[in-house]
Chain A
């Protein structure tokens, strides 16, 4: 079964708006990662947040982690059409390979 469930499943916004995606997981983690997948392509690592961190920034990306609620969010600010992709959270529990969430399909309208 999947460790991470993402919400929403699909999101459509206008260019310039912010996009927020949420990820919930079930077990304790060492870190949580976010990946991006363009249609029909492999995944690209975006950002990693460790279990003892609460917030992390990378360019237009902002990730938060709430271990008490077992949830994380990815915020993309000032979105661009090129941000259109599927976004996956992945949890690292230290006991097995990364487990990927169900993904959020983001569509940014120009």
Chain B
């Protein structure tokens, strides 16, 4: 159980185009979804947190207009990289939790998608 599907696994695009990445929880309701960015041989950097039906909470330094997050249902969240540039090339990973992201909630385990390798030419 607790499977998260992320699609596509790899995308190559031209500079200036927009890319949409989907993250789906297949066998549970993902109350909260997280989007991370990871550079080679480095740790995960949290970009934003979203609760179903609410606006995403972005981490400091992450451009909201650049990285659009939609979490319209309990099983689907999307990250759209708008007007992508070479510096946006990275490995993007989503994760999902079946617990709401809120103060006092702990013990939640995150279930990760397989990641999306974005290369912007």
Contact = CB atoms under 8 A, between A and B. Distances in A.
**Are these two chains actual partners, yes or no?**
yes
Interface of A: 2, 30-31, 33, 35, 40-45, 48, 50, 88, 90, 92, 94-103, 105
B112 interface: yes
Interface of B: 4, 6, 34, 41-44, 46, 49, 91, 93, 95, 101, 103-115, 117
Given A41-B115, A95-B103, A100 B43 contact: yes
A1 to B, nearest CB: 11
A30 B107 contact: yes
A94 B110 contact: no
A37 B107 CA distance: 20
B43 A88 contact: yes
Prevailing SS type, chain B contact patch: loop
A43 B46 contact: no
B115 A40 contact: yes
Contacts of B117: 40
Contact of B114 (A35, A42, A103): A42
B49 A2 contact: no
A100 B44 contact: yes
A45 B107 CA distance: 12
16 contacts: A2-B43, A41-B114, A42-B93, A42-B95, A42-B113, A43-B44, A43-B110, A45-B109, A48-B109, A50-B107, A97-B46, A98-B34, A98-B110, A101-B43, A102-B42, A103-B42
Contacts of A45: 109-111
B115 A94 contact: no
A95 B103 CA distance: 5
A88 B105 CA distance: 21
B107 A99 contact: no
